[in-house]
Amino acid sequence: MSAPTIGIIMNGVSGRMGYRQHLVRSILAIREQGGVLLADGVTRVQVEPILVGRSEAKLAELAARHGIEHYTTNLDEALADDRWQIYADFLVTKARAHAIRKAIAAGKAIYTEKPTAESFEEALELARLAEEAGIKNGVVHDKLYLPGLQKLKRLIDSGFFGRILSVRGEFGYWVFEGDWQPAQRPSWNYRAEDGGGIIVDMFPHWNYVLENLFGRVESVYAKAVTEIAERIDEQGNRYPATADDAAYAIFELEGGVVAQLNSSWTTRVNRDELVEFQVDGTHGSAVVGLFGCKIQPRNATPKPVWNPDLADAHDYDADWIESPGNQEFENGFKTQWEEFIRHVVEDAPNHYDFLAGARGVLLAEEGLRSSVEGRRIALPVVALDGAATDAATPASEQAAELAGAR
């Protein structure tokens, strides 16, 4: 007996993330393994994608390359077809909310990249519309599934840290300007008018990482800057970079934890991984990245003494212990896809919904406002009942104001 099949509309798979992480490493990997195993431990649900995009030639090439039967440039036609139960969105941010509204009206379950919209007001509206329509919905929270952060979660749950005091994070790398080497990120990322900017991109990530590991973000103080003022686009043309490419922020969290996170596309890497977090607590500390996790418990902490007159020969790196994995971690995008499919098929739990996505958009907006106004911004509790309807100026306008202030 063949496994039942769930049809998935995949809109935007010709982009880097949509193709590599969502199509190849998630949906096609799930198809290859025979589908998603359900809670009974026996039943599997197979997946069947239909590729949606603007270029029929690109879609045809992708479909032929991966043995996919269905593709179309007509999103409305796909949404009207009952064969497809899930709508998945990997479009640029500016196009996302419009497409999601269509999917809600069509009664599809929806799974989307973040940010879910260009403004908090719009993101909250999408959450309300989905709730009113009874639509199952999910937002990508991929960083939580990284092996390093899963190891960190295990340390937190075990009480390893004692009372957590602070979190310090460094994320980023040098993105080439596009002249002597092609840029490794698309040019729209550096244009505020096209929805670009590192705060809009990364603060939704930082919001769900912080709130799921340490506590709700209660305030933000941020400084956003555009450190490379001119870049070269994919056609070799120079263009002004109007969006922020670096951001330095302090977040106050529920329970008194302070998090300091630097995000930059203009920094050269001098750390073990492209993202690293150090968590300090009364009983121990940890440094985690995408994969690694080093710990230093209280009873193995050295006793440094500050003396600028003598070179310090102590090897502080050697004082850290590598935390064992003790399990195999699959691709985080694939794991969350499997969880969302179970949510759709058998109503399994799903904590990462449109409301969680709206909280991430709010943090990005208020981060930009903090930078423009030069002050700490308190964040309200976000709820569907209107507890946080006094939205800030949309993020795109904040970014444009920030650029104009320079």
Under 8 Å between Cβ of 104 and 36: no
> Among candidates 170, 200, 179, 173, which has minimal Cα distance to 188?
200
Let me know whether 102 and 91 are in one domain. yes
Let me know whether 174 and 133 are in one domain. no
Per-residue model confidence as pLDDT tens digits over 150-166: 999 999 999 999 999 99
**405 domain residue, yes or no:** no
Under 8 Å between Cβ of 192 and 226: no
Q: How many domains does the chain divide into?
A: 2
**396 domain residue, yes or no:** no
Mean pLDDT, the chain, integer: 93
pLDDT at 1: 45
pLDDT at 388: 53
Which of the listed residues 277, 299, 322 is the one where a domain comes to its end? 322
Count Cα atoms within 13 angstroms, Cβ side, for 287: 14
Taking the C-alpha atoms of residue 18 and residue 53, their distance in angstroms, rounded to an integer, is: 11
Q: For residues 18, 19, 25 and 29, what is the CA-based torsion angle, rounded to 10 degrees?
A: 110
Let me know whether 158 and 81 are in one domain. no
Domain range for 347: 5-142+332-353
**177 domain residue, yes or no:** yes
Residue 386 banded pLDDT, cuts 50, 70, 90: low
pLDDT at 385: 76
pLDDT at 153: 97
Let me know whether 136 and 152 are in one domain. no
**402 domain residue, yes or no:** no
Under 8 Å between Cβ of 9 and 108: yes
> Among candidates 379, 385, 291, 357, which has minimal Cα distance to 141?
357
pLDDT > 90: percent of the chain: 89
Let me know whether 227 and 114 are in one domain. no
Q: Is the pLDDT of residue 276 over 50?
A: yes
**344 domain residue, yes or no:** yes
- CA 236 vs. chain centroid, Å, equals 29
Let me know whether 131 and 204 are in one domain. no
The total of other beta-carbon atoms located within 10 Å of residue 397's CB is 15
**309 domain residue, yes or no:** yes
Under 8 Å between Cβ of 149 and 213: yes
Q: Is the pLDDT of residue 325 over 90?
A: no
Q: Is the pLDDT of residue 81 over 60?
A: yes
CA R_g for the chain: 22
**360 domain residue, yes or no:** no
Per-residue model confidence as pLDDT tens digits over 30-52: 999 999 999 999 999 999 999 99
DSSP letter for each residue of 29-66: HHHHTTSEE-TTSS-EEEEEEEEE-S-HHHHHHHHHHH
Q: Which residue has the tokens 């994995």?
A: 325
Q: Give the CATH number of the domain where residue 296 resides.
A: 3.30.360.10
Q: How many residues belong to the chain?
A: 406
**371 domain residue, yes or no:** no
Let me know whether 55 and 203 are in one domain. no
Q: Give the CATH number of the domain where residue 126 resides.
A: 3.40.50.720
Q: Is the pLDDT of residue 399 over 50?
A: no
Let me know whether 183 and 128 are in one domain. no
Let me know whether 38 and 168 are in one domain. no
Count Cα atoms within 13 angstroms, Cβ side, for 171: 20
Let me know whether 85 and 157 are in one domain. no
Let me know whether 251 and 151 are in one domain. yes
Let me know whether 307 and 166 are in one domain. yes
Read off the tokens for 149. Answer: 């952060």
Residue 327 banded pLDDT, cuts 50, 70, 90: confident
